[in-house]
Amino acid sequence: MGEQELEKNDLVLEDAAEEAAEAEQAAAEAEQAAAEAEQAAAEEAGDSGEAEEEEGDGAEEASADGDDAGDSGESGSE
């Protein structure tokens, strides 16, 4: 009966080792996915930051043009 218990314990340990290996692999995959998501978010933030900056410059130029048009009496909407 002692031998059977040892075999049973070995099987339990093997199962636990398999589960641990699977959990470790899943954790590594999750870490990689998180790193990829972080990189994608950083790239998106960089892209949107550039777009906002360009739009901001355009808005400043448009308001400058609008001021000039108003001063000279010329306006597209009036």
The tokens describing 65, both together, are 């043009």
Q: Per the domain annotation, does 76 fall within a domain?
A: no
Domain count, the chain: 1
**Is 42 domain-assigned?**
yes
Q: What is the DSSP letter of 73?
A: T
- Per-residue pLDDT band for 68 (boundaries 50, 70, 90) equals low
Is there a domain that residue 56 lies in?
no
Domain extent, residue 41, equals 20-47
Q: What's the pLDDT tens digit per position in 36-62?
A: 999 999 999 988 665 555 555 555 555
Is 32 contained in some domain?
A: yes
What is d(CA 48, CA 33) in angstroms, rounded to the nearest whole number? 22
Average pLDDT over residues 17-32: 99
Report residue 78's pLDDT band, with 50, 70 and 90 as the boundaries. very low
Residue 68 domain-assigned (yes or no) = no
